[in-house]
Chain A
Amino acid sequence: MSSFTETIKQLEPEKIINKALKLGASYADVRYHLNINEQIRVENKSLEDYKSQNFGGLGLRVVQKGAVGYASTSDLSKDNIDKTIQEAIKLAKSFKSNKGNFADTKTMKLDKKVSMKINHADISPEEKVKLLIETNKAAFIKEDIKNVITVMGSSVDYRYFLSSDGTQTTVEVPLIGIVEISVAASNGKMDSMFHGHGACSGFEFVKKRDWNDFSVDLSELALRSVQAKAPPPGTYPVVVDPRLVGILVHEAFGHAAEADLVFTGTSTLKDRLGEQLANEQVTVIDEGVIDGGFYMPIDDEGTPKGKTVILDKGVLKGYMHDRNSAQVLSVSPTGNGRAQDFENQTQVRMTNTYIDDGKFEFDELLEGIKEGIYIKNKGSGGGQVEVGAGTFTFNGGESIMIRNGELAEPVRGVVISGAILDTLKTVDAVGNDLSISTSFFGGCGKGGQTAKCGFGGPHIRVQKMTVGGR
């Protein structure tokens, strides 16, 4: 933190803003960003890669006659910063636009952080490598386990923001996590399983978990999966676990509720405010600070991020906004203007997007399902969405057949697909076990930028989901 605050002092951000205004900008904001990170990868019991990085620099946004110019640099010498200011102005002058019209916000000074009990940097490289090698070794529970990769990532992210409106904020967020891939082979078949845990926390997050158990558990899953059969392709009632619910809601629904995609006509949610889009048990929320999620109290435009209700009992209530999109629709910005880092401009992005708690116990979700599938995220390997059409396809992880209201035999990871609005309408029961998680490794991609997010929900039941084999 000390080098971060010192650098800001030396930068004299007020002067940068003033220079931009003098050169003709009607608005300017400056961001200084520093991300200190480290990644350690162990593969098959030996260290494969240990890398660390300090990634920092400055970005300047200016508005000139409604057009936004953005320039960034990692070279913080005075001459170069002057050049950066001039580039931003030149960019804004080079085209016509009204994206630089911003909704009003209260000006404020805010400093927010997640405190670390144990700073990642205070744990020696030896100790971290030892822990990872032990975790990796623990996964080799049987000869059939052929390949295990274990990775730990940790970072502390510092962001400073100052605007010509007078808002000044700093946010400090630590993030840490471990992921593992376990590959099992048996009878000429091979399957790999992926899982991990992460949190906005200091190293205490790693210390309080038993990572050997985690490894054993993942390898057992890989061994089960390689033996398991795929269910016949078709349409099933399914129960989906919180992590997969989170990913589904984020990818297939959340992006469509980002106001910028609504404006360009990319989103299927254009012109549908007030419509009943899902079963009334379904409430979808985007919230900046929530247990287990990514910590995002203020966005990269200096707007506090509170709780934004997108679907309220199935009815589309609003979109997620940055200051420009809020101005266009005459609403308040929701604090969703986010940038990956100083090299990038803000876009409308989600924070922690989840389905809110319902009333059903897990067992009640299974009740009445004659033949269905309990689909879990654990072990899963990703998916893709066409936001334009609202279609999604995801790989589920370990899954279990549901027969006559009870969990039966495990089945191999399944591919699920569908159209999100159809799927939300056929959600007929929402559980009461909301759980949200975040990850050092995962993230959300949009416009060439990655943002850290939180994902989650309770278990939900969907009447009809298309399930393909693999």
Chain B
Amino acid sequence: MDFGEQAVKKALKIGADEAEVYILKKNITKVDFSSEIEMFKNTDTIGIGVRVAVGKKLGLHATSILTEDEVLGAVQKAVNIAKATPEDPNWNGFNKNYGETPVTKNYDKTLESLEYEAITDKIIGGINRATEKDRKVKVTRGTLYLNRGEISITNNYNDTLTYKGSSISSYMMTKAIEGGESTGAEGQDVRFWKDLDYNKIADYAAEQALKHLKAKPIKSTKLPVIMKNKFACFMFGMMIGSNVNAENIQKGRSTFAPKLNTQIADERITITDDGTMPGGYRTRPFDSEGHPTQKTSLIEKGVLKNFLFDNYRAMKADTKSTGNARRDYFQIPAPSLNNFIIKPGTSSLEDMIKDTKKGFFIDRTIGEWLSRPTSGEMNATVTHGFLIENGELTQPVNNVIVAGNFFEILKDKIDTIGSDVANNDHMYSPAIKISEMTIAGK
């Protein structure tokens, strides 16, 4: 029995003009660890979201309870909500253009038969690695998520589409335990079990803690700043992602709104959103509304090229969806980044540091998410940074606030774009050197 198509039929029968059913089957295996395994769990949840339209009135009800009565009850509730709410004058129907783009490397089948012992072995290996080479560090907290999901979507205009995806996300925190106290952390987001490298994670987390034993704030100043690749991923991804989002454009929350086809960035900046990139963290054949995914140019040699749309926002703007709808089963879709990719330059990180007479290197921060994409006010509290002097990392630095205006940086203060692309979740960037930022310290 196919719950999805059955639910759509039922919705039309009891008064809906349109209906869409989104089903997520997810399996999560999660390990929490410190210097030993703390918790180990496996969870299977099926979620069904029913969206209906009665004319231009909309309703959504979702359930995780998988009985026929409950699913049909969910349809009834969605229809009741729709009938009771005001019209949305902009409503133009569910997606009529279902389709799939062939994608590769987004599902690791080996996870289906992976033994629990293999998982704990790999983690214990990581914990041991952190303390190897006589490192005086302790693993204080860590998490490993193995996610597998199958998404099915159907509506009254189209047959069911289905795909499977997997993701693996890990994180390890350490504390140096000799001569003062300092912390370190590192993580990795990958698609395949074989790509998860606990040696690399453990080495980085351990070394970071050790290198920061003597960290201290520096005096307030202005300096050239090298953003580590994973930090650049987040900052550029958040700031640009928010401003190219069609929902923000249409609600007056984007400063990019009037700037299509104008120069908003340094000529060396080229950024794409690509839902089809082989092995990308958010690669998928179709989006959360069944629209095929695609590669969309966001910024080409500094010129703003496109915004990112879901079906609803595209209809409102009289254009086509870019395949960027994203939702969980209990939410309505909204535009969101697929894989956000900054085109790398040619300088290695080593060369970028070597070419810096005096500067600052950002490794890890907190509070960076409090930056404001609308105004471009960017700030982050650096917990792990370094002073760069005569081409070398010297004094470790903590507890300073790095600030600047992101739009100015993007246009006039890009010094060097590195070549060492890494991903932070679905965002891909090399290290980027900014010619000047403000550092608030002592």
Complex CA–CA separation, A333 to B251 (angstroms):
50
Which of B5-13, B103-111, B338-346, B367-375 forms contacts with chain A? B367-375
Closest residue of B by beta carbon distance from A419: B399
Q: Is B311 an interface residue (CB 8 A)?
A: no
B62 to chain A, nearest CB (A): 4
Complex CA–CA separation, A52 to B48 (angstroms):
12
> Which among B43, B80, B140, B370 has the greatest number of chain A C-beta atoms within 10 A?
B43
* B35 A50 Cβ-Cβ under 8 A: no
Contacts of A76-100 to chain B: CB distance below 8 A: 76-77, 80, 84, 87-88, 90-97, 99
Complex CA–CA separation, A76 to B143 (angstroms):
28
B433 to chain A, nearest CB (A): 26
Q: Is B405 an interface residue (CB 8 A)?
A: no
Inter-chain contacts of A124 with B (CB < 8 A): 84
Contact code string B210-254 (vs A, CB < 8 Å = 1, else 0): 000000000000000000000000000000000000000001110
Which of A111-119, A278-286, A385-393 forms contacts with chain B? A385-393
> Which among A77, A383, A384 has the greatest number of chain B C-beta atoms within 10 A?
A384
* A393 B367 Cβ-Cβ under 8 A: yes
Closest residue of A by beta carbon distance from B331: A51
Complex CA–CA separation, A355 to B9 (angstroms):
56
Q: Is A213 an interface residue (CB 8 A)?
A: no
* B60 A91 Cβ-Cβ under 8 A: no
B350 to chain A, nearest CB (A): 29
Q: Is B390 an interface residue (CB 8 A)?
A: no
Complex CA–CA separation, A93 to B37 (angstroms):
12
Contacts of A6-48 to chain B: CB distance below 8 A: 43, 46-47
Q: Is B2 an interface residue (CB 8 A)?
A: no
CB within 8 Å for A388 and B63 given contacts A51-B332, A468-B401: no
* B40 A54 Cβ-Cβ under 8 A: no
Contacts of B103-146 to chain A: CB distance below 8 A: 115-117, 119-120, 138, 140-141, 143, 145
Inter-chain contacts of A46 with B (CB < 8 A): 86, 88
CB within 8 Å for A95 and B120 given contacts A50-B59, A265-B138: yes
CB within 8 Å for A264 and B140 given contacts A51-B331, A54-B74, A55-B63: yes
Complex CA–CA separation, A73 to B70 (angstroms):
16
Inter-chain contacts of A126 with B (CB < 8 A): 84-85
Q: Is B159 an interface residue (CB 8 A)?
A: no
Inter-chain contacts of B43 with A (CB < 8 A): 59, 71-73, 343-344
Q: Which of B62, B74, B85, B383 contacts A50 (CB 8 A)?
A: B85
* A391 B46 Cβ-Cβ under 8 A: no
Q: Is B191 an interface residue (CB 8 A)?
A: no
* A468 B84 Cβ-Cβ under 8 A: no
Q: Is A381 an interface residue (CB 8 A)?
A: yes
Contacts of A58-76 to chain B: CB distance below 8 A: 59, 67-76
Complex CA–CA separation, A351 to B119 (angstroms):
33
Contact code string B35-74 (vs A, CB < 8 Å = 1, else 0): 1111111111111000000000011111111110010001
Inter-chain contacts of A381 with B (CB < 8 A): 370
Q: Is A225 an interface residue (CB 8 A)?
A: no
Q: Is A56 an interface residue (CB 8 A)?
A: yes
Q: Which of A76, A95, A468 contacts B40 (CB 8 A)?
A: A95
* B140 A388 Cβ-Cβ under 8 A: yes
CB within 8 Å for A54 and B383 given contacts A91-B116, A343-B45: no
> Which among B28, B38, B66, B399 has the greatest number of chain A C-beta atoms within 10 A?
B38
B146 to chain A, nearest CB (A): 13
Complex CA–CA separation, A96 to B116 (angstroms):
12
B76 to chain A, nearest CB (A): 12
* A68 B367 Cβ-Cβ under 8 A: no
A422 to chain B, nearest CB (A): 13
Complex CA–CA separation, A468 to B41 (angstroms):
43
* A264 B141 Cβ-Cβ under 8 A: yes
A35 to chain B, nearest CB (A): 9
* A72 B44 Cβ-Cβ under 8 A: yes
* A94 B117 Cβ-Cβ under 8 A: yes
* B370 A386 Cβ-Cβ under 8 A: no
Inter-chain contacts of A343 with B (CB < 8 A): 28, 43, 45
* B41 A345 Cβ-Cβ under 8 A: yes
Q: Is B330 an interface residue (CB 8 A)?
A: yes
* B85 A74 Cβ-Cβ under 8 A: no
CB within 8 Å for A71 and B41 given contacts A51-B332, A56-B65: yes
Inter-chain contacts of A75 with B (CB < 8 A): 44, 46, 66
Q: Is B381 an interface residue (CB 8 A)?
A: yes
Inter-chain contacts of B294 with A (CB < 8 A): none
CB within 8 Å for A74 and B62 given contacts A190-B374, A389-B183, A448-B30: no
Q: Is A125 an interface residue (CB 8 A)?
A: yes
Complex CA–CA separation, A214 to B330 (angstroms):
29
CB within 8 Å for A386 and B383 given contacts A51-B330, A54-B70, A343-B45: yes
Q: Is B34 an interface residue (CB 8 A)?
A: yes
A121 to chain B, nearest CB (A): 10
Q: Which of B37, B42, B80 contacts A87 (CB 8 A)?
A: B42
Contacts of B142-165 to chain A: CB distance below 8 A: 143, 145
Q: Which of A51, A72, A125 contacts B41 (CB 8 A)?
A: A72
Inter-chain contacts of B253 with A (CB < 8 A): 147
Q: Is A432 an interface residue (CB 8 A)?
A: no
Inter-chain contacts of B62 with A (CB < 8 A): 51-55
Sorted nearest first, the 4 A-B pairs with minimum C-beta distance are A94-B116, A125-B84, A70-B41, A264-B34
- Known A53-B61, A126-B85, A190-B375; further 8 A-B contacts with Cβ < 8 A: A72-B41, A72-B42, A97-B36, A125-B84, A147-B251, A265-B34, A393-B367, A447-B32
Q: Could you list some 29 contacts between A and B, CB below 8 A?
A: A46-B86, A47-B88, A52-B60, A57-B64, A57-B65, A70-B39, A71-B41, A72-B43, A74-B44, A75-B46, A75-B66, A91-B40, A91-B41, A93-B116, A94-B119, A95-B116, A95-B120, A96-B36, A99-B38, A125-B84, A129-B86, A146-B252, A265-B140, A386-B183, A386-B383, A388-B183, A389-B181, A389-B183, A448-B143
Residues of A bordering B, CB below 8 Å = 43, 46-47, 49-57, 59, 67-77, 80, 84, 87-88, 90-97, 99, 124-126, 129, 133, 146-147, 190, 260, 263-266, 343-345, 347, 381-384, 386, 388-389, 391, 393, 395, 417, 447-448, 468
